[in-house]
Amino acid sequence: LKEDLEKLNEVAPTMSDKKKLLGGKGAGLAEMTRIGLPVPPGYTITTETCMKYFEEKGFPQGLWDEVLEATKKLEEHTGKKFGSDDNPLLVSVRSGAPISMPGMMDTILNLGLTEKSVEGLAKQTNNPRFAWDAYRRLIQMFGNVVLGIEHNEFEEELEKIKEKYGAKQDVDLDVEALKELVEKYKEVYRRHGYEFPQDPYEQLRMAIKAVFDSWNNERAIVYRKINKIPDDMGTAVNVVMMVFGNMGDDSGTGVAFTRDPRTGEKHLYGEFLPNAQGEDVVAGIRTPHAINEYSKQDANRDLPTMEESMPDVYEQLKNVAELLEKHYKDMQDIEFTVEKGKLYLLQTRNGKRTAAAAVRIAVEMVDEGLITKEEAIMRVTPENVDTLLHPQIDPKAKKEVIAKGLAASPGAALGKVVFDPDKAVELAEKGEKVLLVRPETTPDDIHGMNAAQGILTARGGMTSHAAVVARAMGKPAVVGCEELSINMKEGYFIARGHRINEGDIITIDGTTGEVYLGEVPLIPPSISGNLEKILEWADEIRVLGVRANADTPEQATKAREFGAEGIGLARTEHMFFGEDRLPIMQEMIMAQSKEDRVKALDKLLVMQRSDFVEFFRTMEGYPVIIRLLDPPLHEFLPSREELTEEINELKMKLKEVTSLREMDLLLSQINEKKRILSVVNELHEFNPMLGFRGCRLGIIYPEIYEMQVRAIIQAAIQVKNEGKEIYPEIMIPLIGHVNELKLLKEDLEKVAKEEMEKSGEEIKYMFGTMIEIPRAALTADEIAKYAEFFSFGTNDLTQMTFGYSRDDAQAKFLKKYVEMGILKDDPFKSLDWDGVGQLVRMGVEKGRKTNPNLEAGICGEHGGDPKSIEFFHMAGLNYVSCSPYRVPIARLAAAQAQI
Ligand code: PEP
Ligand code: MG
């Protein structure tokens, strides 16, 4: 009640405190009540109480007394009485967590109806049919939610009664039929050893307990895991007076968004079901009406809109929507019910939206003066940016449309058709791309939706479960595709005469709602419009630089397009894997003398130089960090197994030779393979990642790094002579001891000088090192005396700090570790702040002590992870470097870290 809410501010002053304590729904109801909007009265049991309930394994002391007191107050306020046969109070008991978990937890409606009060409701409403229908719904819902009786068991009874009375739809059942159905439902209860409680307080007690318990049901747990929602938040329980949308044609229920959740367009958008209760909308059983002409795009065009059928209430809804949006300064998702021409608001929350809508709404709200640029940047999530950078259907591609449904969540997806969510998970884990196809989805399908590339359903509207969840996950979805006729049993669907079996590939476009036969080519996205604007604002705000890891000129071009301010890591070894280069690289490795090695290196020099020329050209005006050779040499040679097999095959052939010439040829081939095998054996190490790699190679074979430095300087001279501004940075990998760096620096600077003298040109370049061995971080002050820059290689640093192999740990135990909660995240994906992070912090601090001008960045995979970026910002790094496609995400995350 409005007058009670002043006290709330004392315990929960801010909106986020309120949400934490009362859950999103409870906080929204309280706030709407406080600002005088029409909300049915009720009370909220806090999330803290829920967690206490789990701790104490039962209702905490005093809870029940407070519930009784609050219910009494509700009775006084409404003039209704719980369980009365005259003017009964009915309530809904709904879950509501601090972070929205749509459909994951439980709700019970019409609570308070009993054999006695059903008569009261019939009298009060003058509508016995309505009363008995509400009663049978309560028994069904209560049985399912509170006692765990399968939904189907009730549905079967319903079907039988419908058949007996010749009723086509539920609404065709009359009072007699409904009374009989109630008796049948009671029998279902008895089959399970229960009686439906006739004491409304007993119903209430059991319902509250069930809602608490639903916090820990399986689907809620999975949902929290996917969305990284903490398990210790708990759910609030909202007990609210029922209002009825199913009291005739002047009643109804619906959902409205203050802006279009698909595109972000500023227009009231929503659906409405006349003469219906809330669950009918979500279940997608009846086709909803559009609330207005604008929303008709996706609803049934022939049905009258709410604006047409109840213009006054629509006008009121529109005003309330505007008010709520201004109040919350964000797009609202409003649930409402109209009872006999009176509008009630049942919920408001910040609406879920597609990535495109999130960006558009954020930008437009800044333009409207509603929020600041900083707020806009905080409204867009890194995942939103990621989604917008997903591939789109190639408009030029030839494609055959086999069905069209509602464009529920944008983006294109293709994959093998799978009907079963468990199977979707199974195939996805094997690395297959799948599309989940269902008649409709329920919260039990959530794991399958998460595993799938996209979702296609035959039923449901724009606010159906599939649509809402897909948008939240950022997955393409087409829903309500009524052209599909799905045969779940035999695993196929028919659409426009095509039979698509499980395992066949289809493509969906969640932006248009179209479904295509087979695999349609996708094109990479580009940055434009609102996203460009948000990223420009992010660039104005952030202080952390963003560079890209790029190994080819193509990647460097992409990186520039996405806004990278230079190359933070070019792994030169990747350039050696090209078809034309690998044999020369192998020749270099196989060389028996320095002379032979240099011969091969001379050939590689020409190739490296041309790569670097391209890099410097693409990155004109920006720094380019080129890292000298890093991996163990055996990576460039075939494996022992491969070689042995090849030798055996040649030996087999030898048995069948028919000429001496053929024999000679085979023998020489065998000898060559044997020679390679002996080198492979020589290079073999039990622990190659801790072995002969990185600067260790450069020290033992100085000619390799010398060649690379020559190529860098020669390329730099060439591009400089083209009149371009260039900033080369030469980086040594895997330093663990300062003496390694000292030695290499002396040698390589000499080489660089030689090259410059040869050409008579001066090139300004920086010389630096990676910090990726814990000892390097610990002795960073020493190392910084010989380095102008540090780049933290957090891949290796994580590997060596944890002692986990970066190649094998994930599959063997790391995934389990995360599931078991031993680690919060995979430390190779998201930086371990407490351990590896401390080494980064120490490295920067110590390094800058002896070299105050030290440039410090990071180039491990963590450079594209928002949570890690936040840490790097705090640790005072100058930049992060990540893969080109993560650059926009990093730009946003860096600005968010600054805000
Ligand atoms: C690192 O170790 O973090 C790094 C960037 O180098 P690489 O991944 O090439 O070992
Ligand atoms: Mg490394």
Ligand 1 neighbour 772 (Cβ under 6 A): yes
Q: What is the 3-state secondary structure (H, E, C) of 6-51?
A: HHHHHHCCCHHHHHHHHHHHHHHHHHHHHCCCCCCCEEEECHHHHH
- Backbone φ, ψ for residue 437 (5° rounding): -115, 125
Cα–Cα dist 381/371, whole Å = 16
CA distances to 7, 91, 446 from 10, rounded to whole Å, are 6, 28, 38
665/745 same-domain check: no
Q: Per residue in 476-535, pLDDT tens?
A: 999 989 889 999 999 999 999 999 999 999 999 988 899 999 999 987 777 778 999 999
What was the pLDDT predicted at 285?
60
What was the pLDDT predicted at 465?
78
Cα–Cα dist 178/173, whole Å = 6
What was the pLDDT predicted at 860?
93
Cβ-count burial of 36 within 10 angstroms (0-12 exposed, 13-18 middle, 19+ buried)? Answer: exposed
Q: Per residue in 82-126, pLDDT tens?
A: 989 888 999 999 999 999 887 788 889 999 999 999 999 998 888
Q: Per residue in 222-270, pLDDT tens?
A: 888 888 889 999 999 999 999 999 888 899 999 999 999 988 999 999 9
What was the pLDDT predicted at 526?
75
Which token pair is 736? 């663990």
Specify the residue for token string 């910002």: 873
Amino acid type, 573:
E
Q: How confident is the model at residue 463 (pLDDT cuts 50, 70, 90)?
A: low
Report the 10 Å Cβ neighbour count for 896: 21
Q: Please state, for a pLDDT cut of 70, what percent of the chain lies above it.
A: 98
Q: Which atom of ligand 1 is nearest to the CA of 796?
A: 2
User: What distance in angstroms lies between residue 351's CA and the mean position of ligand 2's atoms?
Assistant: 42
774/790 same-domain check: yes
Average pLDDT over residues 5-12: 85
Average pLDDT over residues 738-760: 97
Atom 8 of ligand 1, residue of closest alpha carbon: 795
Q: If you ran DSSP here, which 8-state letter would residue 340 be given?
A: T
Q: Helix (H, G, I), strand (E, B), or coil: what is residue 442?
A: coil
Q: Per residue in 553-577, pLDDT tens?
A: 888 998 999 999 999 999 998 888 8
Ligand 1 neighbour 796 (Cβ under 6 A): yes
237/265 same-domain check: no
CA distances to 81, 193, 809, 877 from 837, rounded to whole Å, are 60, 57, 20, 12
Among 353, 369, 398, identify where a domain stops. 353
CA distances to 414, 608, 796, 822, 868 from 817, rounded to whole Å, are 32, 42, 20, 5, 20
Cα–Cα dist 331/348, whole Å = 10
What was the pLDDT predicted at 296?
85
- Given 3-state DSSP classes, what are the helix, strand and coil percentages for the chain, each rounded to the nearest 5? 50, 15, 30
Q: Are 344 and 243 in contact (CB under 8 A)?
A: yes
What was the pLDDT predicted at 692?
95
Q: Are 338 and 310 in contact (CB under 8 A)?
A: yes
Q: If you ran DSSP here, which 8-state letter would residue 4 be given?
A: G
Cα–Cα dist 114/167, whole Å = 25
What was the pLDDT predicted at 279?
67
Q: Please state, for a pLDDT cut of 90, what percent of the chain lies above it.
A: 75
Ligand 1 neighbour 480 (Cβ under 6 A): no
Does position 287 have pLDDT exceeding 90, yes or no?
no
Among 523, 554, 573, identify where a domain stops. 523
235/321 same-domain check: no
What was the pLDDT predicted at 284?
56
User: What distance in angstroms lies between residue 797's CA and the mean position of ligand 1's atoms?
Assistant: 8
User: What distance in angstroms lies between residue 607's CA and the mean position of ligand 1's atoms?
Assistant: 23
Residue 383, domain member (yes or no): no
Helical pair 128-145 and 175-191, crossing angle rounded to 10 deg: 20
For residue 676, the enclosing domain spans 640-684
596/675 same-domain check: no
Ligand 1 neighbour 24 (Cβ under 6 A): no
What was the pLDDT predicted at 473?
73
Quote the mean pLDDT of the chain: 92
Atom 10 of ligand 1, residue of closest alpha carbon: 796
Does position 299 have pLDDT exceeding 70, yes or no?
no
Q: How confident is the model at residue 748 (pLDDT cuts 50, 70, 90)?
A: very high
E strands of 611-669, at which residues? 623-627
480/583 same-domain check: no
Does position 711 have pLDDT exceeding 80, yes or no?
yes
Specify the CATH number for the domain of residue 69.
3.30.1490.20
120/210 same-domain check: yes
Cα–Cα dist 654/6, whole Å = 94
What was the pLDDT predicted at 281?
63
Residue 731, domain member (yes or no): yes
Ligand 1 neighbour 860 (Cβ under 6 A): yes
What was the pLDDT predicted at 204?
97
54/113 same-domain check: yes
User: 859 catalytic, yes or no?
Assistant: yes
Atom 3 of ligand 1, residue of closest alpha carbon: 793
Ligand 1 neighbour 794 (Cβ under 6 A): yes
Tell me the longest C-alpha to C-alpha distance in the chain: 111
Q: How confident is the model at residue 589 (pLDDT cuts 50, 70, 90)?
A: very high
CA distances to 142, 526, 535 from 530, rounded to whole Å, are 47, 12, 9
Choosing from 289, 390, 465, 873, the catalytic residue is 465
User: 50 catalytic, yes or no?
Assistant: no
Specify the CATH number for the domain of residue 307.
3.30.470.20
Residue 364, domain member (yes or no): no
Does position 336 have pLDDT exceeding 60, yes or no?
yes
Which token pair is 377? 């940047």
What was the pLDDT predicted at 573?
86
Q: How confident is the model at residue 10 (pLDDT cuts 50, 70, 90)?
A: confident
Residue 820, domain member (yes or no): yes
User: What distance in angstroms lies between residue 803's CA and the mean position of ligand 1's atoms?
Assistant: 15
Residue 214, domain member (yes or no): yes
Identify the sign of the CA torsion 784, 786, 790, 793.
Answer: negative
Which token pair is 324? 């709520």
What was the pLDDT predicted at 523?
78
Q: Per residue in 667-695, pLDDT tens?
A: 999 999 999 999 999 999 988 889 999 99
Ligand 1 neighbour 571 (Cβ under 6 A): yes
**Among the listed residues 248, 292, 251, the one whose alpha carbon sits nearest the alpha carbon of residue 271:** 292
447/591 same-domain check: no
Q: Are 874 and 897 in contact (CB under 8 A)?
A: yes
Residue 534, domain member (yes or no): no
Q: Are 161 and 192 in contact (CB under 8 A)?
A: no
Q: Helix (H, G, I), strand (E, B), or coil: what is residue 292?
A: coil
Among 462, 494, 523, identify where a domain stops. 523
Specify the residue for token string 């020679």: 675
What was the pLDDT predicted at 472?
65
Specify the CATH number for the domain of residue 850.
3.20.20.60
483/561 same-domain check: no
Q: How many helices (H) and strands (E) does the chain have?
A: 36, 32
Identify the sign of the CA torsion 259, 260, 266, 272.
Answer: negative
Q: Which residues contact 326 (CB under 8 A, 6 or more apart)?
A: 370
202/292 same-domain check: no
Partnered with residue 790 across adjacent β-strands are: 769, 856
Number of structural domains in the chain: 5
Ligand closest in space to the Cα of 795 = 1
What was the pLDDT predicted at 236?
96
Does position 195 have pLDDT exceeding 60, yes or no?
yes
User: What distance in angstroms lies between residue 556's CA and the mean position of ligand 1's atoms?
Assistant: 18
Ligand 1 neighbour 769 (Cβ under 6 A): no
- Backbone φ, ψ for residue 136 (5° rounding): -65, -30
Which token pair is 865? 């992870």
CA distances to 263, 319, 502, 526, 564 from 514, rounded to whole Å, are 17, 35, 19, 22, 35
Strand-pair category, 332-339 with 252-257: antiparallel
Q: Are 495 and 403 in contact (CB under 8 A)?
A: yes
What was the pLDDT predicted at 841?
98
Ligand closest in space to the Cα of 734 = 2
CA angle 345, 2, 253 (to 5 degrees): 10
Residue 592, domain member (yes or no): yes
Average pLDDT over residues 352-356: 86
Cα–Cα dist 671/647, whole Å = 9
Element containing residue 226 per DSSP (H, E): helix 218-227
Q: Per residue in 820-858, pLDDT tens?
A: 989 999 999 899 999 999 999 999 999 999 999 999 999
Ligand 1 neighbour 465 (Cβ under 6 A): no
Cα–Cα dist 545/116, whole Å = 71
Residue 536, domain member (yes or no): no
Which among 625, 795, 807 is the best mutation to test ligand 1's pocket, defined by most ligand atoms within 8 Å of the CB? 795
Specify the CATH number for the domain of residue 398.
3.50.30.10
37/114 same-domain check: yes
CA atoms within 13 A on the CB side of 515: 32
E strands of 351-464, at which residues? 392-393, 401-404, 406-409, 412-418, 434-438, 454-457
Q: Are 121 and 84 in contact (CB under 8 A)?
A: no
